[in-house]
């Protein structure tokens, strides 16, 4: 294993690689007004580089293809996450005036969602460390992902969901046999409740914002995109933003590829939130986030207090990226457009990628550029 | 291209490889009491064998990885079908006393269904032949598959569905922008209506039972299973049976691998139908099929007049296989068992695989054997 230590993204101090080293021992969880001390896995990149190249000829096509840049010593015997296709969408490219547009179809993961990449790491570490129970807070996808991987392994999944959780998502959780804890509040409250219960019971955490190893699984989406484009990185990579983990992880993945000499450039990261709940957009623009009562149909990014903001901010700055907000009406239009012109039906949250890029194209000339939309999930709720 | 001609599975006579050579020019469509003259693609296997081996190092992972045994001269620029994982289910293997049990997770295809393998061939041929409209009859999956692939290509999909079509499946069709024709009758009537309209309008057919090229796409599931097991074929391969195309195609795929020297054995094919509608089971046992008013919740195999029976019968005999029927109650139990013990949630029809194997294990000693369940689809309807 080439992972060497953990480093706090807030205070810069180090911590040791323990399975349950969730937050900085110096900074802690933050208090809602300050950001939590998120830890980041460090690697010996000089050593990892050649192992990374060697691993490309193993024939594996799940996330463990990239074992040398993962915080585990061997592949987990878990549901195969990742290895999803990058699908050209020439009709949408024409509409946007782009040279090329690709959809990274994460709906083809085991439970239909990019979050399976993180779950694969969580379950691998939990198994190796002797845990039998895992927990997470989630509007649906992360919990379903954890429930599916736990079902495959015979582990117990404790899912903490907000008061307003979709019937479809609760159905998936039940089918997998998850223990469901319905909060009386929103996602942010469910998150707090999950952390309290997890600490009390000694369960393993699958909360991606706090458990530093999970982002490492998510970053493999960047490795795959780059490899599928023959290591020519696209100009733009677009993803929906809730806690900030997915796009932050994507940025880290592309940076690491450049560090080990596998690629030369970084793509500009474009993060998209729903207009109703856009704390990351506001903070990145130097404005104060609003605690709002407004709601969005895009449940997977309805996050009032983004816990991985420091990571995402660093990656946005490194890539000269930006953040955008779009109203639900544009999400719905983009969902329809993706379905009818790319053949891939995204969940509403993932349609934020196209909605954001359409918005960006009215502000900037994108002609001649290439872009990748990360279609993070494909589970359809009854109304969206 | 190594495909050489078409051969009728009923009368044995040949036909030429035309894009719209759907049925035997001598035998025709049958009349309901006689089987239709289904055509079967013939290859120059001596020539194809070395090309097959060479193609394994191309790095492709969709169905066109196996181009030398497909009836097209080059890969279609379509949604990437196939390349799905083979997932070990050790807990279910223990329950059945098997040495090993694997799930071929076809829910990870572009539209969540094995039928995408056939659609990829249909759309590739239709595009190369200048068609803009395609049609099919379907209880849902095949039509959704066609609609998705057409959306990606900017083609028009005409979907003929039975009177009782699930809300979920109609929703997917609408999202993709398909032209939906709701029959006043069952699947068999929708099939007739689609054939009449298709012939009248000159649309390209995606009816797998009649268009001989589509089975060729489906057989790639056998190629993948064998390759994923390092060319050691399992003892048993289990699939749900409606028209008979999928299991017939699977049998052809395994036979071809043996013909070209890639494998040594054939797996026993186990076909499973719902007890309420089991014409293939009855015919294979030498009994008269019943025209029944009974219904099953497993809509994808609710077929009264299986159109590809001759193909399936030949493959069952060649593999020393068998057919089983199970009641809906066992389908529901098997669906729950798969979800909770394998982490893969099948649609009810696909749960027939486990239900059938459980039934078989009460009749035969399966200890020490290996089995593959083809989880053909994963779209969940509101009630099942």
Q: Looking at residues B269-284, what average pLDDT do you find?
A: 96
B79 → closest Cβ in A148, A176, A343:
A343
Token duo for residue A8? 């706090």
Query: How many beta-carbon pairs under 8 angstroms link A with B?
Result: 94
Token duo for residue B352? 């027939």
Q: Please say if the pLDDT value at position B362 is more than 70.
A: yes
DSSP bridge partners of A156? A133
Residue A307 or B375, more confident: B375
Q: Report the length, in residues, of chain A.
A: 384
CB contact under 8 A, A175 and B345: yes
- Write down the pLDDT at residue B27: 87
Work out the percent of chain B whose per-residue pLDDT is above 70.
Answer: 99
Phi–psi pair at B213, nearest 5 degrees = -80, -20
How far does the CA of residue A213 sit from the closest CA of chain B (Å)?
Answer: 22
- In Å, the largest CA–CA distance within chain B is 54
Contacting residues of A for B343, CB less than 8 Å apart: 79, 110-111, 148-153, 176
Burial of A95 (0-12, 13-18, 19+ CB in 10 A): middle
pLDDT grade, residue B83 (50/70/90)? Answer: very high
In a domain, A340, yes or no: yes
Model's pTM, two decimal places?
0.96
Phi–psi pair at A14, nearest 5 degrees = -95, 160
**Beta-carbon count within 10 A of A51 CB:** 14
Residue with tokens 């459980």: B358
A343 contact B CB<8A: yes
- Write down the pLDDT at residue B327: 97
Q: Write out pLDDT tens, residues B196-214.
A: 999 999 999 999 889 999 9
Q: Which letter does DSSP use for residue B64 in this model?
A: G
CB contact under 8 A, A344 and B110: yes
B227 contact A CB<8A: no
pLDDT grade, residue B293 (50/70/90)? Answer: confident
Task: Find the CATH number of the domain harbouring B281.
Answer: 3.40.50.1100
Residue with tokens 């094919």: B269
How many whole angstroms separate alpha carbon B20 and alpha carbon B16?
10
- Write down the pLDDT at residue A31: 65
Q: Please say if the pLDDT value at position B33 is more than 90.
A: no
pLDDT grade, residue B337 (50/70/90)? Answer: very high
B91 contact A CB<8A: yes
Contacting residues of B for A148, CB less than 8 Å apart: 343-345
Q: Please say if the pLDDT value at position B277 is more than 90.
A: yes
DSSP string, A49-82: HHHHHHHTTS---SGGGGGGGSSSSS--SS----
Q: Which of residues 159-188 of A touch B (CB under 8 A)?
A: 171-172, 175-177
- Write down the pLDDT at residue A34: 80
Beta-sheet strand order (sheet of A86-88): A86-88, A100-105, A370-375, A236-240, A268-274, A322-326
Q: Where are the beta strands (DSSP E) in chain B?
A: 3-8, 14-15, 39-43, 86-88, 100-105, 133-137, 156-161, 179-182, 204-205, 236-240, 268-274, 322-326, 370-375
**Beta-carbon count within 10 A of B327 CB:** 14
Contact status, residue A137 vs residue A210, Cβ threshold 8 Å: no
Number of H helices, E strands in chain B: 13, 13
Name every residue whose Cβ is closer than 8 Å to that of residue A323 and which is 6 or more positions away in sequence: A241, A270, A271, A272, A273, A280, A281, A284, A285, A316
Mean pLDDT of successive 10-residue segments in chain A (384 residues)? 96 94 86 84 97 91 97 96 97 96 98 98 97 94 97 97 90 96 92 95 94 97 98 98 96 98 98 96 91 87 90 97 97 98 97 98 95 96 74
Radius of gyration of the CA atoms of chain B, in A: 19
How far does the CA of residue B117 sit from the closest CA of chain A (Å)?
Answer: 15
How many whole angstroms separate alpha carbon B105 and alpha carbon B95?
20
How many whole angstroms separate alpha carbon B156 and alpha carbon B135?
8
Q: Determine the structural domain holding residue B234 and report its residue range.
A: 86-110+214-375
- Write down the pLDDT at residue B3: 97
- Write down the pLDDT at residue B64: 97
Token duo for residue A186? 């929103």
Work out the percent of chain B whose per-residue pLDDT is above 90.
Answer: 88
Q: Tally the domains of chain B.
A: 1
How many whole angstroms separate alpha carbon A214 and alpha carbon A49?
21
Contact status, residue B186 vs residue B304, Cβ threshold 8 Å: yes
Please choose, from the candidates B243, B166, B220, B270, the residue with its C-alpha nearest in 3D space to the C-alpha of residue B56: B220
How many whole angstroms separate alpha carbon B316 and alpha carbon B157?
33
Contacting residues of B for A172, CB less than 8 Å apart: 345
DSSP-based three-state secondary structure for B198 = helix
DSSP-based three-state secondary structure for A39 = strand
- Write down the pLDDT at residue A32: 63
DSSP-based three-state secondary structure for A140 = coil
- Write down the pLDDT at residue A108: 97
Q: Report the residue of A345, A378, A381, A383 to disrupt the B interface, i.e. the one with the largest count of B CBs within 10 Å.
A: A345
How many whole angstroms separate alpha carbon A91 and alpha carbon B207?
27
Q: Where are the beta strands (DSSP E) in chain A?
A: 3-8, 14-15, 39-43, 86-88, 100-105, 133-137, 156-161, 179-182, 204-205, 236-240, 268-274, 322-326, 370-375
pLDDT grade, residue B31 (50/70/90)? Answer: low
* CA-CA-CA-CA dihedral for A222, A225, A226, A232, to nearest 10: -130
- Write down the pLDDT at residue B24: 93
- Write down the pLDDT at residue B41: 98
Token duo for residue B87? 């997932």
Contact status, residue A159 vs residue A178, Cβ threshold 8 Å: yes
């Amino acid at each position: 294993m080439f992972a060497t230590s953990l480093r706090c993204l807030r205070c810069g101090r180090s911590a040791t690689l323990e399975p349950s080293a969730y937050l900085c021992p110096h900074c802690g969880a933050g208090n809602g007004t300050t950001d939590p001390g998120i830890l980041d896995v460090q690697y010996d990149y000089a050593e990892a580089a050649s192992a990374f190249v060697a691993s490309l000829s193993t024939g594996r096509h799940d996330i463990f293809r990239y074992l040398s840049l993962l915080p585990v010593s061997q592949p987990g015997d878990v549901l195969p996450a990742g290895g999803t296709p990058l699908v050209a969408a020439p009709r949408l490219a024409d509409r946007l005036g782009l040279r090329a547009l690709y959809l990274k179809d994460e709906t083809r993961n085991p439970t239909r969602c990019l979050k399976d990449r993180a779950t694969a790491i969580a379950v691998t570490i939990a198994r190796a460390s002797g845990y039998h129970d895992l927990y997470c807070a989630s509007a649906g996808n992360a919990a379903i992902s954890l429930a599916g991987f736990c079902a495959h392994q015979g582990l117990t999944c404790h899912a903490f969901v907000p008061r307003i959780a979709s019937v479809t998502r609760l159905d998936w959780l039940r089918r997998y046999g998850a223990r469901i804890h319905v909060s009386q509040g929103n996602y942010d409250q469910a998150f707090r409740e999950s952390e309290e219960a997890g600490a009390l019971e000694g369960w393993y955490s699958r909360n991606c914002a706090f458990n530093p190893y999970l982002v490492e699984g998510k970053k493999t989406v960047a490795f795959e995109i780059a490899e599928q484009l023959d290591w020519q990185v696209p100009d733009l990579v677009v993803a929906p933003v809730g806690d900030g983990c997915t796009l932050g992880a994507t940025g880290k993945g592309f940076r690491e590829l450049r560090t080990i000499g596998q690629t030369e450039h970084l793509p500009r990261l474009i993060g998209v939130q729903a207009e109703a709940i856009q704390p990351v957009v506001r903070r990145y623009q130097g404005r104060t986030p609003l605690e709002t009562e407004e709601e969005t149909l895009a449940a997977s990014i309805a996050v009032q207090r983004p816990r991985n903001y420091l990571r995402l901010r660093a990656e946005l700055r490194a890539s000269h990226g930006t953040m955008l907000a779009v109203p639900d009406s544009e999400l719905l239009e983009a969902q329809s457009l993706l379905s009818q012109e790319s053949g891939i039906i995204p969940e509403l949250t993932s349609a934020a990628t196209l909605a954001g890029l359409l918005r960006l194209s009215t502000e900037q000339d994108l002609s001649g550029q290439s872009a990748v939309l990360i279609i993070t999930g494909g589970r359809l709720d009854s109304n969206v």
